[in-house]
Amino acid sequence: MSRLRILAAFVFGVVALSYAGIWTYYTQQEAGAFLGITPAYDGWARNMEVTGVVPGSGADRAGLRPGDRITAVNGQPLVTDAPFHDNVSRGRPDDVVRFTVLRKGESRPIEVAATLGSAPDRSPARTAAQRVAILPLNWYPVPAVLLALTVLFLRVHDRNAWMLALLFAGLGTGPAETMESLLPSALRGFVLAYSVLFSGMAPAMFYGLLARFPVSSPSTAGFRGSGPP
């Protein structure tokens, strides 16, 4: 049992640190290319509606219009929105992207080829002091996970240590949608699954830890305490 808990702690540590590193890196990244549409993906219809087009953008010059429905990107059907993100959000300026489009008034799908432009710089101007001050906000999931794992490996048999580790592992699980478009396809499923799981467990872990540590609250008097240290 002891070896099994140590193995479980090791696997948990690898997974939690991997997510923290991915989250920290990709939440600070921005798209390198710009198409110029406001997309709305419909998972039931498996297409992406163009709800807005930026004047003068690559999409505008290519002839994309509000109300168009994109069904494929570079020949890849939009079973999910991954082909759009892989070819547009993670594309590069001057890449030519082909869209298969359903348009009102057209009896058959049409093909539209758009050239990606450079992404506008949306990062706010900061002084050197502001950049230093914001570093802890950008990197906090990594030290949080390291602290939790330190406690966990020192007290691997203690339930409170496991609760603390699970709680801290969920600290960096903000909305994964904000970075989903920039993630490689190989990481997208892992990040979304981790985010949904740990963000969902966070309230229960938070309550459980506070209700049991350092001593059990009266409301949990019927439960047994933590295991041996």
Final residue belonging to a domain, choices 62, 87, 118: 118
Residues 137 and 69 in one domain: no
pLDDT classification of 229: cutoffs 50, 70, 90: very low
Domain extent, residue 63, equals 33-118
Give this prediction's pTM: 0.68
70, 73, 76, 80: CA torsion to nearest 10: -60
User: Where is the domain boundary, 52, 83, 118?
Assistant: 118
Decide if 228 is inside a domain: no
Look at residue 188 and tell me if it is in a domain: yes
Based on DSSP, count helices (H) and strands (E) in the chain, helices before strands: 8, 8
One domain for residues 83 and 164: no
End residue of a domain, out of 118, 149, 177: 118
Over residues 220-228, mean pLDDT: 48
Q: What is the pLDDT of residues 66-103, one digit of tens each?
A: 999 999 999 999 998 889 989 998 889 999 999 999 99
Q: Find the helix packing angle between 141-154 and 2-26, rounded to 10°.
A: 170
Are residues 167 and 209 part of one domain?
Answer: yes
Q: Kindly state whether residue 225 falls inside one of the protein's structural domains.
A: no
pLDDT exceeds 80 at position 214: no
Report yes or no on 64 lying in a domain.
Answer: yes
Render pLDDT for 118-147 as a digit per residue (tens, 0 to 9): 877 665 666 777 667 776 667 778 888 888
| Shared domain check, 43 and 93 | yes
Any domain includes 226: no
Report the chain's C-alpha Rg in angstroms.
23
Which residue type occupies 88? Answer: V
The CA distance from 118 to 109, in Å, is 28
Q: Does one domain contain both 134 and 200?
A: yes
Based on the fold, state whether residues 95 and 132 are members of the same structural domain.
no
If asked whether residues 129 and 25 sit together in one domain, one would say yes
Has residue 217 got a pLDDT over 70?
no
Burial class of residue 227 (count of CB atoms within 10 Å of its CB; 0-12, 13-18, 19+): middle
One domain for residues 11 and 42: no
Together in a domain, 37 and 95: yes
The count of domains in the chain is 2
- Tokens read off for 132: 């230093």
Tell me, what's the pLDDT at 174? Answer: 59
| Helices within 55-184 (DSSP H only) | 58-62, 82-84, 128-139, 141-154, 159-169, 177-180
Is 229 part of any domain? no
CA distance linking residue 211 with residue 204, whole number of Å: 10
42: pLDDT confidence band, cut at 50, 70 and 90? very high
Same domain, 46 and 8: no
Give the range among 57-66, 104-113, 216-225 with minimum mean pLDDT.
216-225
Contact 99, 78 (CB under 8 A): no
Q: Same domain, yes or no, for 94 and 74?
A: yes
Give the whole-angstrom CA distance, residue 53 versus residue 145: 42
Tell me, yes or no, whether 100 lies in a domain. Answer: yes
Question: What pLDDT score does 88 carry?
Answer: 92
Same-domain check for residues 132 and 98: no
